[in-house]
Amino acid sequence: KEWIGQNEGVLSWKLDGLTIVLTYEDGKLAKAVTRGNGEFGEVITNNAKVFANIPVSISYKRELILRGEAVIRYSDFYKINNEIEDVAAKYKNPRNLCSGSVRQLNNKITAERNVHFIAFSLVKADGIDFDNSRIAQLYWLIGQGFDVVRFKKVDAGNLEESISWFDDHIKDNDFPSDGLVLTYDDIKYGESLGKTAKFPRDAIAFKWRDEIKDTRLLEVEWSPSRTGLINPIAVFEPVELEGTTVSRASVHNLSIMEGLELGIGDTVSVYKANMIIPQISGNSTRSGNVKVLEQCPVCSYKTAVKQDNGVKSLYCTNEDCPAKHIKSYTHFVSRDAMGIDGLSEATIEKLITKGFIKELADIFRIDKYKDEIIRMEGFGEKSYYNLLASVNKSRKTSTSRLLYSLGIPNIGLSNAKIICKHFNYDWNLIQQSTFDELIQINGIGNVMAEAFVKYFSNEKNKIIVKDILEEIEFEDIKLEKADLLFENINFVITGSVEHFKNRSDLKAVIEERGGKVTSSVTTKTNYLINNDNLSNSSKNKKAKELGISIITEKQLMDWFNDVY
């Protein structure tokens, strides 16, 4: 109030994104630059053109320069983060996501991120009389088709009331804001004040004070990760923070836990860093009765405390701990493997951390933990039963799916199909196959055969497979003449397809009939499939050089029909 004095001002959200300067010429966007260090920014014109709400053209035809904030809405931020299975790869806040999005080399990715541009000041628009008012400038920008920051005209008399209005609407504001900005409405007066080395003197900004609430600590959970690190997680009585209910917060490491002297039943203060990530800021009771875990909650091996730059952290000492092999579980349930929908990497990590999954076969036994899973964060009865249905559906599978799902080095889906077909889909013959038998199969070389035999010679792996076999049932596969139609024949597919949904579908049909599809034309290639056999593509040229037959998709289908 002292700062605004007898003047009028513009009070608006302090948006938490990336400041962008736009230049329009002849009504079209000519340049977009990030603020950078205040003098030199980064040109991002190509990406700015695909911002969700940027005007493609405006009625003002002279040079227009305006400043605003590129932001990603909270709703879009949560949606994007929920689609990222790897917990470590999730974005910390909308600002980080926005910053990375506007700098993408491929603006298709920028477009998918739904970045918005919110204007907050006009820099140049010659020939327009704004009556010396910043508010008039903002309304003019609205008339040109720009979204501008939400603002209120204020003076010393209504300033507190206006701040309270913004305070009350934090929960409703979908655009990230970390405070408020107050600017003099009088343009000439503001400019007469000059500026410091970094900031103009015609505006001030304040950040919101963190909303802090006290609650009671109920327990400390220990969460192992794929690096072996075991993080303490504080679980407390639920509190409302920034419009959401919060009941858990990471304590990050032992040094922080010991510094807070956490104890069960303590009264702790909780807030949301960046209005998103729950944190514990203090502990008024400090009973310090939480003990450091001596055994990993997943595999029960001994834990060890390590120090790095004075920070103490807890680790699992077992190299074979399931928590360290999340990727193998994710591969096992993937679409082309066992095909269990609803088991994202994040969900698998939760189930492993809780101790519900200790080996691959345990995925089929999650019904033992029904009540616990339903109570898990992000779950409920519907999610649980959907997951259970997907698990049970996957029990009936094929030998090639199982073989691929085991993640044996160099054994991809197509190689798994070739091996299984060679042994007439008999799992016992598949598992017991020797190196010499495997290298007799067209397409299976020494490296693959060695990896295969090594895997099934390992006693731990034998137990893993035995336990899985107790939970699944193989589909009956009747071998017919068509099943062996392309046995020992190598194909390459190029160009567009007409009779199949995509090239992957065509590849699957060939592989189901014993053929092999590779990505490049070599002396081992028997046929190149290309609907345009007159094209000058590199694959066509190579095939002609090597004397390899080029056939169309229709010719391949006629081949099917002759057999059927």
Annotated catalytic residues are 14
Tokens of 414: 């197509």
Q: How far is residue 178's CA from residue 277's CA, in Å, rounded to a whole number?
A: 14
* Cβ 315 vs Cβ 304: under 8 Å: yes
Strand partners, 313: 306
Chain-centroid distance, C-alpha 438: 39
* Residues near 310 by beta carbon (within 8 Å), at least 6 away in sequence: 255
Q: How far is residue 249's CA from residue 425's CA, in Å, rounded to a whole number?
A: 49
Residue 245: which H helix or E strand, with range?
Answer: strand 244-250
Q: How far is residue 256's CA from residue 312's CA, in Å, rounded to a whole number?
A: 9
Q: How far is residue 353's CA from residue 351's CA, in Å, rounded to a whole number?
A: 5
Q: How far is residue 473's CA from residue 338's CA, in Å, rounded to a whole number?
A: 12
**How many residues does this entry show for the chain?**
564
Phi, psi of 543 (to 5 degrees): -60, -40
Tokens of 279: 């944190």
The one-character DSSP state at 365 is G
Q: How far is residue 490's CA from residue 367's CA, in Å, rounded to a whole number?
A: 44
Q: How far is residue 170's CA from residue 272's CA, in Å, rounded to a whole number?
A: 14
User: How many Cα atoms sit within 13 Å of 466 on the Cβ side?
Assistant: 7
Please give the sequence-ordered ranges of beta strands (E in DSSP) within 83-139, or none if there are none. 116-125
